[in-house]
Amino acid sequence: MAIRIKNQKFYRTEDLVDILPLKLPSIQNYIRKGKIRAVKIGLFWYISESNLNKFLQGEYPPGKTQTG
């Protein structure tokens, strides 16, 4: 289930399993490699809707993932 922070939708890594044709280890690997930009809030990693769309369009961020 997505959450909203400052009018932006964020998905947990587990949410992406239902959205994308990928398994959780693959999603975690993409985050680790920086192909999906994610933010760690507490114990969980969250991916913004805009970063998910960038990933789906093939736009990889220039750096590693960011921590929060």
- Taking only the tens place, the pLDDT of each residue in 35-58 is 999 999 999 999 999 999 999 998
Class of domain 3-56: mainly alpha
> Dihedrals φ, ψ of 51, to 5°?
-70, -35
Helix H segments across 1-68? 13-19, 24-33, 49-56
pLDDT at 68: 46
CA distance 28 to 39: 12
Residue 5 binned pLDDT confidence (cut-offs 50, 70, 90): confident
CA distance 59 to 40: 21
CA distance 33 to 18: 21
Domain assignments of the chain as residue spans, ordered by start = 3-56
